[in-house]
Structure 1
Amino acid sequence: MTRFAALLLFFAAFPVSTAATDLIDFVPVATGLDRLTTIVSTPLYPDKVFVAEQLGRVRLVENGVLRAAPFLDITDRTLSTGFEQGLTGFALSPAFPANPFVYAHYIRLDGASRVSRFHLLPGPVLAADPASETELLTLSQPHPTHNCNEVRFGPDGYLYIGCGDGGPPFTPVHDPQSLAERYGKILRVDVNNIPVGQPYGIPADNPFVGTPGALPEIWALGLRNPYRFSFDALTGDLWIGDVGQSTYEEVSFVPAGTRFGVNFGWNRMEGTHCYPNPGCDTTGLTLPVIEYDHNEGCAVIGGPRVRNGEYSQLEGRYVFADFCTGAIYAARPDDGWQRVVVGHLPRMPTGFGMTPDGQLLIGSYGIGDAVLYRVTIVDALFADGFND
Structure 2
Amino acid sequence: MHYSYAANLRLLHDDVNQPVLLTHANDFRIFIVEKTGKIFAYKGTQKHLFLDASSLITTRGSEQGLLSIAFHKNYSENGYLFLFYTAKNGDNTLARLTVDLPADKQIDLKSLEVLISQEDPASNHNGGMLAFGQDGYLYLGIGDGGRGGDPWNNAQNLETLLGKMLRIDVNQSSGYSIPKDNPFVERDNVLPEIWAYGLRNPWRHSFDRETGDLWIADVGQNKWEEIHWRSVDSKGGENYGWRLMEGNHCFLPKKECDLGDLVKPVAEYAHKYGCSVTGGYVYRGSKIKELYGKYIFGDFCSGTIWTINKEQNFEMQELMKTDLNISSFGEDSSGELYVLDYQGRVFKFVP
Please report the TM-score for the alignment, with normalisation by the length of structure 1: 0.86
One-letter code of the match for 1:313? E
In structure 2, relative to structure 1, the CA distance for the partners of 1:178 and 1:149 (3 Å cut) is same
Matched, 1:166 2:145: yes
1:334-372, Cα deviation, whole Å (9 max, x unpaired): 432221111123321111112222321111102xxx111
Matched, 1:40 2:17: no
Give the one of 62, 70, 77 matched to 2:43.
62
Aligned to 1:349: 326
1:86-145, Cα deviation, whole Å (9 max, x unpaired): 010110011112121100101111111111001213566254321211000001111111
Cα displacement (A) at 1:22: 6.1
In the alignment, the residues of structure 1 paired with residue 3 and residue 309 of structure 2 have an alpha-carbon distance, to the nearest angstrom, of 22
In the alignment, the residues of structure 2 paired with residue 51 and residue 124 of structure 1 have an alpha-carbon distance, to the nearest angstrom, of 16
SS at match of 1:372: strand
Task: Give every structure 1 segment of 4 or more consecutive aligned residues whose post-TM-superposition deviation is greater than 6 Å.
Answer: none
Aligned to 2:280: 303
Cα displacement (A) at 1:159: 0.7
The answer to whether the 8 Å contact 1:22/1:344 transfers is no
Matched, 1:374 2:348: yes
One-letter code of the match for 2:185? V
Matched, 1:225 2:201: yes
In the alignment, the residues of structure 1 paired with residue 60 and residue 49 of structure 2 have an alpha-carbon distance, to the nearest angstrom, of 20
- Larger deviation, residues 224-233 vs 271-280: 271-280
In the alignment, the residues of structure 2 paired with residue 365 and residue 29 of structure 1 have an alpha-carbon distance, to the nearest angstrom, of 14
Cα displacement (A) at 1:154: 0.9
In structure 2, relative to structure 1, the CA distance for the partners of 1:24 and 1:166 (3 Å cut) is same
SS at match of 2:281: coil
One-letter code of the match for 2:11? P
- What aligned pairs does 1:93-242 form with structure 2 within 5 A after superposition? 93-122=72-101, 125-193=104-172, 199-242=175-218
In the alignment, the residues of structure 1 paired with residue 45 and residue 263 of structure 2 have an alpha-carbon distance, to the nearest angstrom, of 41
Structure 2: segments with no counterpart, 5+ residues:
none
The answer to whether the 8 Å contact 1:121/1:127 transfers is no
In the alignment, the residues of structure 2 paired with residue 264 and residue 361 of structure 1 have an alpha-carbon distance, to the nearest angstrom, of 28
1:234-275, Cα deviation, whole Å (9 max, x unpaired): 110000000001100000001102114011010101011111
In the alignment, the residues of structure 2 paired with residue 130 and residue 139 of structure 1 have an alpha-carbon distance, to the nearest angstrom, of 20
**Between structures 1 and 2, the one with greater strand share:** 2
Q: Percent identity?
A: 33
Structure 1: segments with no counterpart, 5+ residues:
1-17, 378-388
In the alignment, the residues of structure 1 paired with residue 297 and residue 45 of structure 2 have an alpha-carbon distance, to the nearest angstrom, of 23
Give the one of 58, 78, 82 matched to 2:57.
78
Give the one of 16, 24, 32 matched to 1:51.
32
In the alignment, the residues of structure 1 paired with residue 260 and residue 101 of structure 2 have an alpha-carbon distance, to the nearest angstrom, of 53
The answer to whether the 8 Å contact 2:221/2:246 transfers is yes
1:34-89, Cα deviation, whole Å (9 max, x unpaired): 1111111133x22x101111001111111144x1x421111112112322110101
SS at match of 2:188: coil
In structure 2, relative to structure 1, the CA distance for the partners of 1:270 and 1:130 (3 Å cut) is same
Aligned to 2:11: 28
1:297-355, Cα deviation, whole Å (9 max, x unpaired): 00000000111322101001110000001111011124322211111233211111122
Alignment size in residue pairs: 350
In the alignment, the residues of structure 2 paired with residue 229 and residue 111 of structure 1 have an alpha-carbon distance, to the nearest angstrom, of 22
The answer to whether the 8 Å contact 2:155/2:243 transfers is yes
The answer to whether the 8 Å contact 1:91/1:152 transfers is yes
In the alignment, the residues of structure 1 paired with residue 103 and residue 53 of structure 2 have an alpha-carbon distance, to the nearest angstrom, of 21
The answer to whether the 8 Å contact 2:39/2:51 transfers is yes
Cα displacement (A) at 1:151: 1.1
The answer to whether the 8 Å contact 2:6/2:291 transfers is no
The answer to whether the 8 Å contact 1:175/1:183 transfers is yes
SS at match of 2:55: helix
